[in-house]
């Protein structure tokens, strides 16, 4: 099952359950000045959940393009080095605005995973919030999950309701318990079930989070029941694709493999396992869609985040020996993979490539010189030592090296800044 088929099956399934298929919103949030980028499926529905916006539907489903780079939601430094970190990802979601609640949400998720996607039931574990007896009973009695595979998770983040299984929009306002679904990769992979000391291992991977918004939290911290409870779910497309395609790394799924091969062709790199190719494949998605949504490389705000991501990709191309503009040529491969699902990309692909090429040409002039100076400064340092701040600032000020780019180079040599 390809990524495109997985995405379409999700939307088709929920359409059959009476959900309106809603197009992905822009990566630039229209209704939330506190948010740098759209980072989940519920962002475009925030005002609906708060009762400020009334839609013609009470059930919705979407595949939402999302970015986590910059601000408090920042995965940039981990991209390319781990199996599941991305700057750009797609979030599959279904939403109920005062219509169905826990029982239907759980039933829909289980049916899709086990009947449509065909995942073995015995490979699935679930978590519920410690006090959510209702969700626990639904999983146990209605769905038939053995009680030993239903894990109650308490307040594990240092305060009341501060839990992996309790979601809050902010310090006050809509909130509620959530139930997460995990896939068990089997005993040959290290790791323990959710809630255990070995939960950080790769054996049990969270694939879907079902959030049950049933309370309104007051400034005094009191939870008052919402008159119309809502449902907000999120499942990372890349994660579920890796599970369904039988691979451990998101970068092994078909979409990424095609982008990695395109990056290898453009850089001349023969080793398809090279982490730099993963960085480039990830970054072409984030950069292209940010430009689609009107962000232009610049020196502040969203524009500077875009510039940082572009320049990080170019540095990895340089590391692979490519000193000529190459990044913009990957837009064609991206359009082949995602243009059908996102026609807004296909409509402006040429302009996206032009914006990227201009930025490549601008930075290409200083990248070579800056890398030479940085290499010289790092030469005498031993692992564990740090590059001095003066050099890091000079690289930023004179050569346009974002600090995270310099830190990236240092980290590869066991150094810090």
DSSP 134-161: HHHHIIIIII---GGGEEEE---SSSTT
Q: Which residues contact 404 (CB under 8 A, 6 or more apart)?
A: 76, 77, 308, 312
Residue 231 confidence (pLDDT) above 70: yes
CATH of 3-249, one of 3.30.930.10, 2.60.120.380, 3.40.109.10, 3.40.50.300: 3.30.930.10
Residue 243 confidence (pLDDT) above 90: yes
Q: Which residues pair with 287 in a beta bridge?
A: none
What percent of the chain is predicted at pLDDT more than 70?
99
Burial state string for 190-206 with b = 16 or more CB within 10 A and e = fewer than 16: ebebbbeeebeeebbbb
Burial state string for 19-58 with b = 16 or more CB within 10 A and e = fewer than 16: beebebbbbebeeeeebbbbbbbbbbbbebbeeeeeeeeb
Three-state secondary structure of 236-277: EHHHHHHHHCCCCCHHHCHHHHHHHHHHHHHHCCCCCCCHHH
SS3 69: coil
Tokens of 257: 């493999």
CA distances, 13 to each of 19, 94, 244, 317 (Å):
9, 10, 17, 40
Mean pLDDT estimate for the chain: 94
The dihedrals phi and psi of 67, each to the nearest 5 degrees, come to -130, 135
pLDDT in tens, 320-339: 999 999 999 999 999 999 99
Identify the helix (H) or strand (E) that includes residue 19: none
Which of 186, 241, 353 minimizes the C-alpha distance to 8? 241
Q: Which residues contact 165 (CB under 8 A, 6 or more apart)?
A: 127, 128, 129, 130, 132, 153, 177, 178, 179, 180
pLDDT in tens, 122-163: 999 999 999 999 999 999 999 999 999 999 999 988 888 999
Q: What is the pLDDT of residue 311?
A: 96
Please classify residue 396 by burial: count the beta carbons closer than 10 Å to its beta carbon, then call 0-12 exposed, 13-18 middle and 19+ buried: middle
Q: What is the pLDDT of residue 182?
A: 98
pLDDT in tens, 344-403: 999 999 999 999 999 999 998 899 899 999 999 999 999 999 999 999 999 999 999 999
Angle between helices 3-16 and 237-244 (to 10 degrees): 110
Report the relative pairing of strands 20-21 and 150-153 from DSSP bridges. unpaired
Q: Which residues contact 90 (CB under 8 A, 6 or more apart)?
A: 7, 63, 64, 65, 66, 236, 237, 238
pLDDT in tens, 27-55: 999 878 878 999 999 999 988 988 889 99
Please classify residue 380 by burial: count the beta carbons closer than 10 Å to its beta carbon, then call 0-12 exposed, 13-18 middle and 19+ buried: exposed
Boundaries of every domain in the chain: 3-249, 253-412
- Cβ contact 235:244 at 8 Å: no
SS3 104: helix
Q: How many angstroms separate the CA atoms of 124 and 179, rounded?
A: 13
Q: How many angstroms separate the CA atoms of 392 and 31, rounded?
A: 37
Instruction: Note the maximum CA span of the chain.
Output: 66
Which of 301, 331, 299 minimizes the C-alpha distance to 313? 331
Q: How many angstroms separate the CA atoms of 77 and 407, rounded?
A: 9
- Cβ contact 295:27 at 8 Å: yes
Q: What is the pLDDT of residue 208?
A: 98
- Cβ contact 55:48 at 8 Å: yes
Q: What is the pLDDT of residue 74?
A: 67
Residue 205 confidence (pLDDT) above 80: yes
Least confident of 213-222, 247-256, 302-311: 213-222
């Amino acid at each position: 099952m390809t990524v495109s088929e997985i995405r379409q099956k999700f939307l088709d399934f929920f359409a059959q359950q009476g959900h309106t298929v809603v197009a992905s919103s822009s990566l630039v949030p229209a209704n939330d000045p506190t948010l740098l980028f759209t980072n989940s499926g519920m962002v475009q529905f925030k005002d609906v959940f708060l009762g400020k916006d009334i839609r013609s539907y009470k059930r919705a489903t979407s595949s939402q393009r999302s970015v986590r780079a910059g601000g408090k939601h920042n995965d940039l430094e981990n991209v390319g080095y781990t199996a599941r970190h991305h700057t750009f990802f797609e979030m599959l979601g279904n939403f109920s605005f005062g219509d169905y609640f826990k029982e239907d949400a759980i039933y829909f998720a289980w049916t899709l995973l086990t009947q449509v996607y065909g995942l073995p039931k015995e490979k699935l574990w679930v978590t519920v919030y410690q006090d959510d007896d209702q969700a626990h009973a639904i999983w146990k009695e209605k769905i038939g999950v053995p009680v030993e595979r239903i894990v109650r998770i308490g307040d594990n983040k240092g305060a009341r309701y501060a839990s992996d299984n309790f979601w809050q929009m902010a310090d006050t306002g809509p909130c509620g318990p959530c139930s997460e679904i995990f896939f068990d990769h089997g005993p040959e992979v290290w790791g323990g079930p959710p809630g255990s000391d070995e939960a950080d291992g790769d054996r049990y991977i969270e694939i879907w989070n079902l959030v049950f918004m049933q309370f309104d939290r007051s400034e005094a911290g009191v939870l008052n029941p919402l008159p119309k409870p809502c449902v907000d779910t999120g499942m990372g497309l890349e994660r579920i694709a890796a599970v369904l395609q039988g691979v451990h790394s998101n970068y092994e799924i078909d979409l990424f493999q095609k982008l990695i091969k395109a990056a290898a062709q453009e850089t001349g790199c023969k080793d398809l396992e090279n982490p730099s190719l993963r960085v480039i494949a990830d970054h072409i998605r984030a950069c292209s869609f940010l430009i689609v949504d009107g962000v232009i490389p610049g020196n502040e705000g969203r524009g500077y985040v875009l510039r940082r991501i572009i320049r990080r990709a170019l540095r990895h191309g340089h590391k692979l020996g490519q000193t000529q503009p190459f990044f913009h040529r990957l837009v064609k491969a991206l359009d082949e993979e995602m243009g059908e699902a996102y026609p807004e990309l296909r409509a402006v692909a040429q302009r996206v490539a032009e914006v990227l090429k201009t930025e490549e040409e601008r930075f290409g002039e200083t990248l070579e010189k800056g890398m030479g100076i940085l290499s010289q400064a790092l030469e005498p340092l031993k692992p564990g030592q740090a590059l001095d701040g003066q050099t890091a600032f000079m690289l930023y000020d004179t050569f346009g090296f974002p600090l995270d780019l310099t830190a990236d180079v240092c980290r590869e040599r066991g150094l810090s800044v």
